[in-house]
Amino acid sequence: MVRSAAKDVDGYLAEVPDDRREVLTELRRLCRRELAGFAEVMAHGMPAYEREGVAEIAFASQKQYISVYLMRGDVREDFAERLAGQDMGKGCLRFRRPEAVDLGLLRDLLRATAARPGPVC
């Protein structure tokens, strides 16, 4: 699944492969807990979290991996050392297996994102 037609995140999670649903559901819980004041929306066929109408975090079940989109360059820079060993594109953190998803790292990235607004890429 690359782009979902789901109308909401519940529908999105119902569509993901069984082996990914548990970790993606936990990631959603983490986003909802750590991103207080953000709106949970579907954007570009994936769950996204917006502050004042601007998406700062999103996640998706891609064909080959689970991706977490970190749209804040300042947060990526602040975490450069911890992200160095990860499979990371410009703004996309990729996990090839559900059990490889580092929820502790993601929690810290979410907290840093929520702590203050900043420019998105």
Closest CA to 20 of 110, 104, 96, 102: 96
In the chain, the amino acid numbered 77 is: E
Q: What is the pTM of this model?
A: 0.93
List the domain range (segments joined by +) for residue 66. Answer: 9-115
Reported as a pLDDT band with limits 50, 70 and 90, residue 4 is confident
Within a domain: 36: yes
Domains: count for the chain: 1
Whether 1 is in a domain gets the answer no
Q: 49-61 in b/e burial notation, b at 16+ Cβ within 10 A? A: bbbeeebbbbbbb
Residue 104 pLDDT level (bands cut at 50, 70, 90): very high
Among the listed residues 52, 49, 72, 68, the one whose alpha carbon sits nearest the alpha carbon of residue 60:
68
The CATH number of whichever domain residue 47 belongs to comes to 3.90.1150.200
Q: Say if 106 falls within a structural domain.
A: yes
Quick: pLDDT tens for 62-89: 999 999 999 999 999 999 999 998 999 8
